[in-house]
Amino acid sequence: MVESSGKMKSSSHPTLFDAIHLGAWDLPHRILMAPLTRCRASEGHVPNDLNAEYYAQRASAGLIISEATSVSPQGYGYPSTPGIHTNAQVEGWKKVTKAVHDLGGKIVLQLWHVGRISHPSFQPNGGQPVAPSAIAPRGQIFTGTALVPYTVPRALETSEIPGIIAEYVDGAKRARAAGFDGVEIHNANGYLLDQFLRDGTNHRTDGYGGSLAGRARLTLEVTEAVVGVWGADRVGIRFSPSGVFNDMRDSNPLETFTYVLKALSPLGLAYAHVTQVTAQDLAHGAVAGVGPKELRPAFKGAVVSAGGFTQETGNRALAEGWADAIAFGVPFLANPDLPERFRRNAPLNVPDEATFYAPGAKGYTDYPRLAD
């Protein structure tokens, strides 16, 4: 068993129902809620009362990791996703954090910038999306009205990168003002920081590309800057080392992610959130063998894992020692009282995939609880 300090404890194998000291937080159990994009923010990318109800229903999670939330007007690539760069957004998020805290829950905000996974229709003044290099992802994007091919992004100038870091800092400060318990940096799933880290999307020749140290530089600088706002014990970071979502690839992911996790270890972060390869990833060309199990030795702190876990496989990961807590996504989406269902070995609601990103309460706040 590994606590967030990285020190081993001599005890029996932990289970999902055992308490854990994770960073600054004493959590009653290890069943976390994974970040889930739901596309239900109001105009101006402002969280609303329905969002507050949704998160409050799931306040029994050991820790809620919010849906991905843009730190910048440039950082959007999906309709009706929330932001954290305006005062109105802060006020909207205050409703969410109060609703969760009133029920005894804890919630962190996931800081996000989509980079090239966008379209001029999402960008200020119709500009090009930004990325480490001018490489368009394969596939199509939904603009809110139609599916269209991705466009070639604009490679960020070296002089622009301090501004990107400043946007993460501003988002972190606004998350504090909104009442969150901490933040998670989204460095996964093919978005901007992940694009800089991997050699399939980063072909730069300046100090933010080329060598592995160059490609990892933005991740490290953003993390250090956000730690300067929150303190390390209230900051987590998410990686998807085997993920191929959003046309991602890397020539040596084991080397890449081992490097960045070792480089982050001295900071003393609350946790590293490392996803395991899923069947969907494998079907789209991912290679098994680079995930939390293989990367666990590289990070001297707590590891949270996600990616298709069940109660049984989550307990197995804890028992084998390569994860300290498990983040559940779709099961929490469809089961607001997931921890209680696990405790009772009760049946789980079937998720309605047609409503995952649809507007309104259906498939969002209307899933029944056991008490119902």
Residue with tokens 């003393």: 268
Q: 55, 76, 168, 191: which is the annotated catalytic residue? A: 191
Q: State both tokens at 100.
A: 């969760």
Beta strand pairing call for 130-131 and 183-186: unpaired
Q: What whole-number distance in Å separates Cα of residue 302 and Cα of residue 133?
A: 33
Contact indicator for 65, 35 with CB cutoff of 8 Å = yes
Contact partners, residue 15, CB within 8 Å, separation at least 6: 30, 315, 318, 319
Cα torsion through 333, 61, 93, 95, rounded to 10: 100
Q: State both tokens at 171.
A: 């988002």
Spacing of C-alpha 7 from chain mean position:
25
Q: State both tokens at 172.
A: 């972190």
Q: Which residues pair with 42 in a beta bridge?
A: 46
Contact indicator for 117, 142 with CB cutoff of 8 Å = no
Cα distances (angstroms) measured from residue 168 to each of 9, 120, 250, 366? 35, 22, 25, 34
Q: b vs e for 48-67, b when ≥16 Cβ sit within 10 Å of the residue's Cβ? A: bebbbbbbbbbbbbbbbbbb
Can you list the positions of beta strands (E) in the chain? 20-22, 25-27, 31-33, 64-70, 107-112, 130-131, 140-142, 147-149, 154-155, 183-186, 235-239, 271-275, 303-306, 325-328
Contact indicator for 186, 238 with CB cutoff of 8 Å = yes
Reference 187, options 176, 179, 178, 198; nearest CA is 198
The reply to whether 191 belongs to the active site is yes
Q: What whole-number distance in Å separates Cα of residue 35 and Cα of residue 281?
A: 18
Q: How many alpha carbons fall within 13 Å on the CB side of residue 192?
A: 32
CB atoms within 10 A of CB 128: 17
Q: Which are the catalytic amino acids?
A: 191
